[in-house]
Every structure is written in structure tokens, then in C-alpha cells.
Amino acid sequence: MRTLDLQLPGHRYPIFIGPGLLEADGLLDPYIRGRQVMVVSNTTVAPLYLDRLLARLGRFETHTHVLPDGERYKTLDTLNGIFDALLAVPCDRQVTLLALGGGVVGDIAGFAAACYQRGVPYIQVPTTLLAQVDSSVGGKTGVNHPRGKNMIGAFHQPQCVLADTDTLATLPDRELRAGLAEVIKYGLIRDAAFFAWLEAQLEALLSRQADALAHAIEQSCRNKAEVVAADEREQGQRALLNLGHSFGHAIETGLGYGTWLHGEAVAAGMVMAADLSRRLGWLDGASVERVRALIRRAGLPAAAPAELPADRLRALMAVDKKVQAGRLRLVLLEAIGRAVVTGDFDPDALAATLAECRGPAAAAAVAP
Ligand SMILES: NC(=O)c1ccc[n+]([C@@H]2O[C@H](COP(=O)([O-])OP(=O)(O)OC[C@H]3O[C@@H](n4cnc5c(N)ncnc54)[C@H](O)[C@@H]3O)[C@@H](O)[C@H]2O)c1
Ligand SMILES: [Zn+2]
């Protein structure tokens, strides 16, 4: 087992990474304060892993609440269902919520914990690669509003994170690849050595070799933890985690949510950010090719889908939440392993990137 400590002002918590952690006796006990535990999961993950988890929680009074599966259920209604379940028991202010699932379950259960009785502890047990390397770490929680994704939420840090790499065995291939996009992101923004390791070990990751996965998750969480520790509430450095996301969100919105997975859109977006960085003279062509090649080898799209014209993408980027005081701010690369946030770039270079980074139509771009 690998353990990382996330140190924040006033709160510190461990991230446990490795195989067999759901079976590890007593691992969670020190992080559960009261006697009640409410496990929140969904209809896909609960049949796979809920029993394993409950078997280790015999010391506690356990309850479970199973959500329908899908981003479309990441709503205030679903959140209210969790409150109903907590109050029906009833659960007291010492209850610990345990989020067992991907980022959707983690975000919504974390937000329920932030709100229930003005805040109760929770534990993240992420079961997708994306959740293990990204959403479970850092304390952002929330739900969607019909007018925007993640528009209602709170910062609420978990007591601990338990990333059992064995759970990735059942993850659909496409979800695994989408999670890899965020893994690659950490190498690009601040860890050139990790990027080089990913180039060497990509096949091991795609074939789900346990050691390779644990190393990739550990390095990703370490990088995210360092960024979050320096900037818990996204005033500055934390924005670097949005590399590829302004382009990616425009693609997700333009295609309609769910056509491409988030990680797929971010993958294309990172190549576009690299391409723009080269046009601005910040990044050399060989580095752009390294980015594009790794994304392609991971089976991820390396350009925007053909059906989204440049002006449509540009318009969608302008309404993205990263626009501050009317100016679009982007995360760009000075080198592999060094990213910067800037609003100071030539708009013609952006237009050229949007016009030229274009792949096949959406359906054909992504492996099944
Ligand atoms: N809080 C943050 O900082 C943060 C960061 C990034 C993303 N997010 C959020 O995370 C969400 C996306 O998370 P995600 O990619 O994990 O999606 P997800 O939670 O929808 O999971 C993807 C699919 O995989 C299934 N699944 C989960 N674990 C499985 C397993 N072990 N075996 C088989 N199937 C499994 C899920 O039921 C779902 O169908 C979005 O809502 C996004 O906004 C939050
Ligand atoms: Zn992301």
C-alpha cells in the first residue's frame, strides 16, 4: 500500500492507494468518529463492491443508500434523497458518509456531507481511474444545475481517501482511457519525469498492470495534493489543473454532454493547448508531437471533432467559467512539465488552433 498525506491549513488526511484495500481490516476505523456510517453508492458499483466494504465495517451501525447511475442524476433531487435517507434512520451529527463509486457518487455524497446538519465527516472510496486521480482528492463537492455543471457545491475535505486499484478491473475500457487523460495532464502541467514515465509505461497501464496503475495513481494524487495544498480554494495555482479544460468544455457542450466523455474532450483540449503554445512560440514542435503521440497511443482523441467549426468552439469558450472580467484565460505550456495561466495571447493564434486542430467526426474519433 502507498500512502500520501494531503496537508491543508487546519486539516490533514491520508490517501491510501493499492490493491486489496477494500479487504484490509481496520484501515478505515481510525477515520470514522461516530458509530454510524452511511455508504452512498450507485446501481452499478454497489453490486460489485458494497458487500466487500460492509464486511470491514462490522464495528459500526451501517446503512446504505444506492443512487441511480449517471451524470444526469447529479442533481439537487438526488441530493435530497440522501438527506431523506439520513433523516429516516435517523443519523446524528457524528455520522460518517462513505462515497463508493466514481466522481458522480463522490461529488454528490461529499456535498451531502458538507450540508447534512451543517457538515459531517465523509470518506472517499473512488472506483474509477478519474475519481482515484482527480475528483476524490481536493475537497470539491457539488451537483449540477439545469443551467450549468457543478454550479451548486462546497469545498469539504474528506477524512481519508481509499483508492483500491483492484476495483479498476471492472471499469469499462473507455472509462479507463478517459481517466488516463487526467493522469497525462499532471505530467504535462508540472512533472516532466512522470510524463516520460507514462510514455514508457503506457501499454502496462492500458493492460491494467497493478504496479503501473498504483504508480500512476500515486504520482497523480501527489501532484494534485501539492497543487491543492498550495491553493485549496482555486485562487491561483489550482487553475493549472484546468489544462485542456477550456477547449474540452467547449467540445463537451458543443457535442452535447455525454457524446464524448470528459477525459476524451480534455485529451483533445490538451493537444490544442500544446498546439496554441507552439504558435505563440512558447513550446517547440517536438514537444507538441510528444503530447499528440501519447494521447493517440492512449486511444484518446487528439483534435476537436469535425462537426464543430472554429467559430462555434470560440463562442463556447467565451462563456466558459474561466473567463474573468471579459477576458478568456487559458492554461498553456512553456515546456512538458511546465504550465502557466494567461489571458495574454494573440487571438489570431487561438483562431488558427481552433481551425486546424480538427479530427474526424465525433463518433469515429473515439474507440468503442
Ligand atoms: N470534485 C472534483 O474535483 C472533480 C474533478 C473531476 C471530475 N469531477 C466530477 O466527476 C464526475 C465524473 O466522474 P467519473 O468519470 O468517475 O464518472 P462516473 O462517476 O459517472 O463513473 C463512470 C461510470 O463508471 C461506473 N463505474 C464506477 N466505478 C466502476 C467500477 N469499478 N467498475 C465498473 N463500473 C464502474 C459508474 O457507475 C459510471 O457508469 C463528473 O460529475 C465530474 O464533474 C469532480
Ligand atoms: Zn477534468
- Compute the 3-state secondary structure of the chain and give helix, strand, coil in percent, each to the nearest 5: 50, 20, 30
Protein residue whose Cα sits closest to atom 4 of ligand 1: 135
- pLDDT tens digit string along 224-276? 999 999 887 777 889 999 999 999 999 999 998 889 999 999 999 999 999 99
For residue 149, the ligand 1 atom closest to its alpha carbon is: 43
pLDDT at 88: 98
Q: In this structure, are residues 221 and 14 in contact, taking their beta carbons and an 8 Å threshold?
A: no
Q: In one letter, which amino acid is 354?
A: L
The reported pTM is 0.95
Can you tell me which atom of ligand 1 is nearest the CA of 131? Answer: 16
Residue 151 neighbours by CB distance under 10 Å: 12
> In angstroms, how far is the first alpha carbon of the chain from the final one?
33
Tell me which residue of 334, 173, 142 sits closest to 243, measured CA to CA: 334
User: How far, in Å, CA of 260 to CA of 365, rounded?
Assistant: 9
CA of 248 to the centre of ligand 2 (A): 9
Active-site annotation, residues: 118, 140, 182, 224, 234, 238, 242, 245, 249, 262
| Cα–Cα distance measured from residue 256 to residue 265, given in angstroms and rounded to the nearest whole number | 12
pLDDT score at 368: 41
Q: How many CB atoms lie within 10 A of CB 172?
A: 11
DSSP 261-274: -HHHHHHHHHHHHH
Protein residue with least CA distance to atom 42, ligand 1: 103
Q: In what helix (H) or strand (E) does residue 62 lie, and over which residues does it extend? A: strand 61-67
Q: How far apart, in whole angstroms, are the C-alpha atoms of residue 230 and residue 9?
A: 10
User: What's the rounded Cα separation, in Å, for the pair 164 and 220?
Assistant: 15
Selection from 73, 139, 72 nearest residue 110 by Cα: 139
**Distance of CA 136 from the midpoint of ligand 1 (Å):** 10
Determine the residue type at 4. L
CA-closest residue to ligand 1 atom 8: 135
For residue range 307-361, list pLDDT tens digits in order.
Answer: 999 999 999 998 865 556 678 999 999 999 999 999 999 999 999 999 999 988 7
Residues whose beta carbon lies within 6 Å of some atom of ligand 1: 42, 44-45, 48, 69, 71, 74, 101-105, 107, 127-128, 130-131, 134-135, 138, 140, 150, 167, 170-171, 175
Q: Which residues of the chain have pLDDT under 50?
A: 365, 367-368
